[in-house]
Amino acid sequence: MPQDRQHDRFGALKRAIRQCNVVITVGLYTASMPFAYGMFAVLCFLWRKDERRRAQRLQRVTAFAYRSMHRWLTWLRITRFDHRQPLSGLPSGPCVVIANHPTLMDITSITAVLGSGTTVVKPALYRRRMIGPLLVGAGHVEGPGADPISTGRVVDEVVRRLAWGMPAIIFPEGTRSPPGGFQRFGRLAFEVACRARVPLVSLTVRCEPVYLSKEVPLFRPAHPTPRLGLGVLAVDDPAVVDHDSRRLRQLAEERYHSWLRELVPPSDRAYDPAAEEPECQIRSKTV
């Protein structure tokens, strides 16, 4: 069909333009990185007197940077994301925010929307000499790594950040979600919500077509323009499950699996063991 061929040609052209835009963006970001790094380091030093206020201010700076980045990416049609999209039902105070992790852009989009947030960072990244002090300054927490006992320190640190009034953003899968499925959820986020007695916000992240997943790298942008969207799946009060993090995890995990079942046709779904288990009997209360 000639019309299809023309469509393909335009598709290939658009893809090539987008690829050029990605190269330009990476170049610009690499060139401006020393300046941005210097600015952040100076602010981190200037605001060093009060640990809590420094973290709150630096998180706002980070959120501003992420919003600017998403505006730029939208303008260049590399991805589409509007951080002003309303997320109804978000609690006004501190909360634990969990989300699926389909792309590397989910943390930037969630932070852009929330305006602040502490995260749990991999020890290998946290201990880098250049980045570590900035992560500490912005109130992020070093992850547990290989030692299971150090999880206690992580839980205490995140609970402390929540007491400062900031949300904690945790990906319970620990790594990016496989296409059309989930990794098994860890219990850290749920334990933190139960101990701090703050609401657990379950967010959904959709990126269609998928981009910056493990399968689709940076320099192979998807076509058509990937559209990034966030949604609130539920807000749970841990009191509903008597502050039992196991039950809270089960509740959240089943909710994500049923969301996925509604979203993805069975043929495209990854193996989902939860789909074979009986429905959870726990009832949730929206707070």
Partner 1 sequence: MSDQIEDRLKKLIVDTLALEDVDPASIETDAPLFGEGLGLDSIDALELALAIHKDFGVRTKENDEKNREYYYSVASLAQFIRDKQAEAAAADPA
Contact residues toward partner 1 (CB under 8 A) are 144, 146-153, 155, 186-188, 191, 245-246
Nearer residue to partner 1 within complex by CB, 27 or 273: 273
In whole angstroms, the minimum distance from the beta carbon of 196 to partner 1 comes to 14
Nearest approach, Cβ of 172 to partner 1 (angstroms)?
11
**Phi/psi of residue 139, nearest 5 degrees:** 80, 20
Picking from 98, 99, 147, 156, the residue whose alpha carbon sits closest to that of residue 123 is 147
**Nearer Cβ to partner 1 (140/247):** 247
Based on CB atoms, which residue is closest to partner 1, 93 or 152?
A: 152
**Shortest Cβ distance from residue 188 to partner 1 (Å)?**
7
Instruction: Kindly state the tokens that stand for 55.
Output: 């973290």
Q: Edge-to-edge, what's the strand order for the sheet holding 227-236?
A: 141-142, 118-121, 168-170, 96-99, 200-208, 227-236
Q: In this complex, which beta carbon is closest to partner 1, that of residue 190 or of residue 211?
A: 190
CA pseudo-torsion sign 131, 136, 141, 143? positive
Name the E strands within 42-165.
96-99, 118-121, 141-142
Task: Decide if 221 contacts 19 (C-beta within 8 A).
Answer: yes
> C-beta of 103: minimal distance to partner 1 in Å?
25
Residue closer to partner 1 by CB (options 58, 121) is 121
* Least distance from partner 1 to the Cβ atom of residue 151, Å: 4
